[in-house]
Amino acid sequence: MATPRPQHRKTTELLRRKGSLRLASATKTAETSLAGSSASEGLVDTTTLSTNWMVKTQQLISYDVISKEGLFDVDNRDLIAVGAPRPSTRLRKRPTKLRRFVVVDEVVDGIYGERIREYFGAHHVETHILSIHVSEATKTMKSVLAVVDGIDAFGISRRHEPIIAIGGGVLLDIVGVGASLYRRSTPYIRVPTTLMGIVDAGIGAKTGVNYSAHKNRLGNYCPPKVVFLDRTFLATLEPRELCNGFAEILKIALVKDARLFDLLEEHGDRLIEERLQVSQAAEEVLRRSIHGMLEELQPNLWEAQLERLVDFGHTFSPTLEMRALPSLLHGEAVTIDMALSTALSLVRGLVSEVEANRILATMRTLRLPTDHELCSPELMWEALEDTVEHRDGLQRIPLPAGIGAVTFVNDVQRAELSAAAAVLDDLAVR
Ligand SMILES: NC(=O)c1ccc[n+]([C@@H]2O[C@H](COP(=O)([O-])OP(=O)(O)OC[C@H]3O[C@@H](n4cnc5c(N)ncnc54)[C@H](O)[C@@H]3O)[C@@H](O)[C@H]2O)c1
Ligand SMILES: [Zn+2]
């Protein structure tokens, strides 16, 4: 007789608690054969008359973040190796060939579309490429539904044919929402093509679209199956978009990585000029910022812990970004928030004047704004109130404590915010 293979099976146990029952259920790998299941499994107690249950379950989440230059070189199978052909069914005896539904940012399609089509053609993949126009203003459910309509028309096996999303943070967020909703969740692969996507939007679990003038008001946590990071896409990015991505790198530097800050301070100008393609510094900057980001996300993927280092720069910026649309990019709004937070730190003596000036100067080196005409103390207070709601009733504002560390505060007052805005004006003119 063949040795039984490890089986994935659900185990449930019924625990008696004071006056109620708790049903604990977990998926685990067992080495036993199915025939050998023990008598204690399943629902064993049918005698207790109770009307309360607790369902508890666990699911292991894992996804790969893979750096791969030349992802669409025809001899590279990495992208299509994720997933599998549809399996055979009683009606369809042989597995069908590979099929993929691909959503691509219209601008990226204009530059790389031919290469992408050649790639799938060379691997005989039946493909539908949906090219969509995206912007922060159209990061809406309407765009999500356009993606879902496309998937429905093409038809995919939700187990074997992951959706492929190629584009910047906006495209990835839209497809993420669509994939999470389609048939209650369909696997998808992210291929970020902007710096913001590579260091931030592409590598976490969050999806989201804007709703009712609020940033990312609709969305969920739905990690991709795999993320492929190909930095050669950055060669065609508009300089302003590149700098936009540097904002999130600077964020990681300021909250936890002084060495990364030094690299940005020293090489920022050159890194922009060479679009992070050539130097060792470019490699180190990307590696440190992606690693730092994942280090923060991995233990807190569902954000159970609301004091998040990566929320630095994201206290005042969501409201500012939405009010200023389309004049501020996400990273630009984040930088203005980081500048204001730095000024708050200076007011509180958490950073020295020298440190505050270094931070502001590095923002300028990275060609990022530190102020905006809409950025009044009144609007910032309104933004803070909205964020307090988001952070379960507390401000939880990450403020720089020197360079490479933060502290969380909960007691910023209106007057202090106005004082910080005045200090920022002062710092910005130096
Ligand atoms: N889900 C998350 O965790 C998360 C994290 C950070 C940011 N975001 C979201 O990401 C969005 C910002 O993303 P973004 O900065 O990538 O903006 P974006 O997606 O709008 O892309 C910026 C511009 O670059 C173009 N583009 C993309 N790739 C290109 C390439 N290789 N060459 C030339 N042009 C290219 C796009 O068409 C667009 O015009 C925001 O909506 C933000 O909320 C999400
Ligand atoms: Zn951000």
Domain ranges of the chain: 7-28+45-60, 64-88+96-236, 239-428
Any bridge partners for residue 229, and if so which? Answer: 67
107 lines ligand 1 (CB under 6 A): yes
Considering the chain, what is the average pLDDT of its residues? 89
Task: Return the CATH superfamily for domain 239-428.
Answer: Dehydroquinate synthase-like - alpha domain (1.20.1090.10)
Write down the pLDDT at residue 87. Answer: 67
Q: Please give the Cα distance from 252 to 204 (Å, whole number).
A: 14
297 lines ligand 1 (CB under 6 A): no
Q: What is the pLDDT of residues 168-205, one digit of tens each?
A: 999 999 999 999 999 999 999 999 999 999 999 999 99
The whole-angstrom distance between residue 370's C-alpha and the CA centroid of its chain comes to 24
Q: Are 315 and 394 in contact (CB under 8 A)?
A: no
224 lines ligand 1 (CB under 6 A): no
Write down the pLDDT at residue 85. Answer: 72
Tokens 């690299």 correspond to: 263
pLDDT over threshold 80, residue 366: yes
Angle at 298 between CA 399 and CA 57, to 5 degrees: 125
Q: What is the pLDDT of residues 106-149, one digit of tens each?
A: 999 999 999 999 999 999 999 999 999 999 999 999 999 999 99
Q: What are phi and psi of 55, to 5 degrees?
A: -100, 125
Write down the pLDDT at residue 88. Answer: 64
Q: Is 206 a catalytic residue?
A: yes
Q: 173 CA distance to ligand 1 centroid (A)?
A: 9
Write down the pLDDT at residue 273. Answer: 96
Write down the pLDDT at residue 55. Answer: 87
Is residue 105 classed as helix, strand or coil in its secondary structure? Answer: strand
Out of 3.60.110.10, 3.30.413.10, 2.60.98.20, 3.40.50.1970, which CATH number does the structure's domain 64-88+96-236 have? 3.40.50.1970
Write down the pLDDT at residue 389. Answer: 95
Q: What is the pLDDT of residues 311-344, one digit of tens each?
A: 999 999 999 999 999 999 999 999 999 999 999 9
Q: What is the pLDDT of residues 220-273, one digit of tens each?
A: 999 999 999 999 999 999 999 999 999 999 999 999 999 999 999 999 999 999
Q: Please give the Cα distance from 305 to 327 (Å, whole number).
A: 32
- C-alpha dihedral (207, 211, 217, 222), degrees to nearest 10: -20
The pair of structure tokens assigned to 15 is 């625990």
Q: What is the pLDDT of residues 21-62, one digit of tens each?
A: 333 433 333 333 333 334 445 555 556 667 788 888 888 999
Can you give the length of the chain in residues? 430
Which ligand approaches the C-alpha of residue 222 most closely? 1
Write down the pLDDT at residue 92. Answer: 61
The pair of structure tokens assigned to 219 is 């969305």
